[in-house]
Amino acid sequence: MSQHLSCPRFLIVMGVSGCGKTTVGRVLAERLGWDFYEGDDFHPPANIAKMSAGIALDDEARAPWLATLHDLIASSLAGYKPGVLTCSALRERYRQTLLAGNSGTDIVYLRGSYDLILARMTVRTGHYMKADLLKSQFEDLEEPAEALTVDAALPVDQIVEEIIRQMGRR
């Protein structure tokens, strides 16, 4: 079911690694008929190499990646192409970088407990982010005050329904 809105819209699905951003983002974008972007696909190779080696990224390493994602959102909004982007966006300043000048963009926060996310990460394969970096992700996490917040423990279809319900209230 495609949702047609009078103004361009963009959603950033955020949370710690393993919370379900990619799965939820893909299903949500498909449900809305919007474009989908996996934020991890925009990391430069040096960032992926660091994370693969178990090294958490610092702000200097994140800055060009966040700038690229900001520009992606801006160009999508300018082209009246609504989209869904997955991005950890753990700190408020990262979210502010993404949102700067991009009105019509909402944050969706997938909130999950450390134990839930750790259990998911220990069984997933083929991802460069290792479970031993999860502790640093929770340490960096600054929960957003202004977000559509959904429990990451819910089934994907329920999460998507809740996001759409909360969007309708804004």
Domain residue ranges in the chain: 10-169
Kindly report the length of the chain. Answer: 170
Residue in 166, 150, 116 with CA at minimum distance from that of residue 24:
150
CATH topology of domain 10-169: Rossmann fold (3.40.50)
Cα 26 to Cα 160: distance, rounded to the nearest angstrom: 10
Cα 117 to Cα 123: distance, rounded to the nearest angstrom: 10
One digit per residue, pLDDT tens: the chain, 170 residues?
Answer: 444 444 559 999 999 988 999 999 999 999 999 999 999 999 999 998 888 887 878 899 999 999 999 999 999 999 999 999 999 999 999 999 999 999 999 999 999 999 999 888 776 655 445 556 788 889 999 999 989 999 999 999 999 999 999 998 76
Maximum CA pair distance of the chain?
Answer: 45
Cα 104 to Cα 86: distance, rounded to the nearest angstrom: 16
**pTM score, two decimals?**
0.88
